[in-house]
Structure 1
Amino acid sequence: MLCAGALLPTSLIAGELTQYEAKYDILRKGSNHGTAVRSLKKLDNESYELTYHSDIEWMIFSDSRKETSKFTFKDGKVSPDHYSMVRKGTGPDKNYKIDFDKKNEVVTSSTSEYPLKCEWTDDFQDAISYQVQVREGLKKGETNFSFPLVDKKGNRRDYNFEVVGTEVISLPIGNVEAIKVKRLYDTDKRQALAWFAPEMDYMLVRMWKGEKGTEQFEVQMNSFTVTAPTATVDHTKNLQAN
């Protein structure tokens, strides 16, 4: 087993989120078809920026996208302020922004001249900020999660998850004990699983998505670096050594 707990603090400063950069392989049926990078950095006070950038090449299909979430983190709660997504590749390109105006309790989109017609809730998450909130919930021992998301057209989409167990998984960084989380869909045709490693500050280390029992893609962490204002520490070699 890894001794990651001794290597990776739950946070560099109490009450703050760990700043990091994680790199992933994107697989389909065991073959590597792309890479992804996820990073979290503190902007100021209680503000953070989460980014996820992926590049995929598969036969004649290509997909390059970057998602960015700027959010506030206070008292263990993630509250999004701004989300953007840029996508290029096979099929239509996408480029849009969503802003969460907490003062006026409205959501605006770069694709609409007026505020979106969605009922405001303080529990809103954006398309990637909810992943940070899942991590915080897992740290508290929570096993069920539900988040309301709003898309660029103002449609509310409820994301529901449940913890289904703990297992040791094999990754490029070594064997990792992880909590397995399942997304709950209205239909059994779609499946999505995610694994979070407690000994690595509950980092997302693996994802799997399928449809009608057939794998669409799998994402596996291949390196992990904790960053700080005065230092950057690559833990990948230490993890592999253990």
Structure 2
Amino acid sequence: MANTLLKTFSITTALSSAILLSAISSNAVAMSPFQASYQFAYNGKNLGTATRTLSKSGNNWTYVFAAKAAAIASATETSRFSFANGQIISNNFSRNSKILVHNDTMTINFNPSTKTINTKKKDQARSFAWKAGALDELNAELQVREDLKGSGLKSSYLIADAKGLDVRQFVKKGSESVKTAFGTYNTIKVVLSHDNSSKSSTFWLAPQLDYLPVKMSHDDGKASYNLTLTAYKN
């Protein structure tokens, strides 16, 4: 149970950062701070809550995703970056998760000056080549949002994990009405493509809330979980 929950929390935070904003807004607005709260459910049972918070100081931005399931598990991801000419410049990323007495950590440091990305997961350190546009699991969501407000969605995005840069792709699957504790919204449905056909990840984005994800779900064939919006402010 503990290992399954740990994996669930890791996937949840990772996927949260990859959510797409799937329509170009004709009235584009600048990226701005916000906070959103969610109900976290595992295999249909509500186990805890989650928040995502975007804040800034000058041109230093911080994006945080935090989730907690009662006294059993918790996870926090933090992305720090700057922003210029519609492009996010990644600085560093960290993830900390805990299941009962078991802890897991990961850090990613982006070094464009030396063209390297340095990572550390538990005690395993790695270094690999930096590439222009490299993002982390959280700020990728924000970059996609800005792209859609501008020239449009890219065909793929480079997202760093502990071992290297992954190419991520998403597919728009029409629209759908979603009821949440914070209200009912007409949403754009987006599906994350997986190499493993038994896995599915789906996101519902509300144009009314500047394409905020109001619902997310993941099913790996053995277990499922979802996040549903409960509060939002900007």
TM-score tier, shorter chain, comes to: 0.7 to 0.9
Q: 1:135 aligns with which of 136, 145, 168?
A: 145
2:48 is the alignment partner of 1:34: yes
How many residues align structurally?
208
- CA distance 1:141–1:27, change in 2 (3 Å): farther
Task: State percent identity of aligned pairs.
Answer: 23
* Offset of residue 67 of structure 1: 0.3
Q: Which residue of 2 aligns with 1:147?
A: 157
* Offset of residue 163 of structure 1: 1.4
- CA distance 1:10–1:225, change in 2 (3 Å): farther
Paired residues for 1:201-240 under 5 Å: 201-212=210-221, 216-226=224-234
d(CA) in 1 for partners of 2:188 and 2:53?
21
CA RMSD of aligned residues (A): 2.6
d(CA) in 1 for partners of 2:105 and 2:31?
28
> Runs of 5+ in structure 2 lacking a partner?
1-26
Q: 2:108 aligns with which of 85, 93, 98?
A: 98
Aligned-partner residue type, residue 98 of structure 2? K
d(CA) in 1 for partners of 2:113 and 2:151?
32
Q: Contact between 1:27 and 1:219, CA under 8 Å: does it hold in 2?
A: yes
- CA distance 1:122–1:112, change in 2 (3 Å): farther
* Offset of residue 33 of structure 1: 0.9
Post-superposition Cα deviations, 1:205-232, rounded to whole Å, max 9, x if no partner, equal: 11000023x6510101100011xxxxxx
2:199 is the alignment partner of 1:190: yes
Q: Contact between 1:108 and 1:114, CA under 8 Å: does it hold in 2?
A: no
Q: Which residue of 2 aligns with 1:238?
A: none
Give secondary structure in 1 for the equivalent of 2:72: strand
Larger Rg computed on CA atoms: 1
TM-score under structure 2 normalisation?
A: 0.79
d(CA) in 2 for partners of 1:24 and 1:144?
28
d(CA) in 1 for partners of 2:175 and 2:121?
41
d(CA) in 2 for partners of 1:161 and 1:42?
28
Q: Which residue of 2 aligns with 1:63?
A: 73
Q: Contact between 1:144 and 1:163, CA under 8 Å: does it hold in 2?
A: no
Aligned-partner residue type, residue 50 of structure 2? A
> Runs of 5+ in structure 1 lacking a partner?
1-8, 227-242
Q: Which residue of 2 aligns with 1:118?
A: 128
Q: Contact between 1:42 and 1:49, CA under 8 Å: does it hold in 2?
A: yes
Give secondary structure in 2 for the equivalent of 1:124: coil
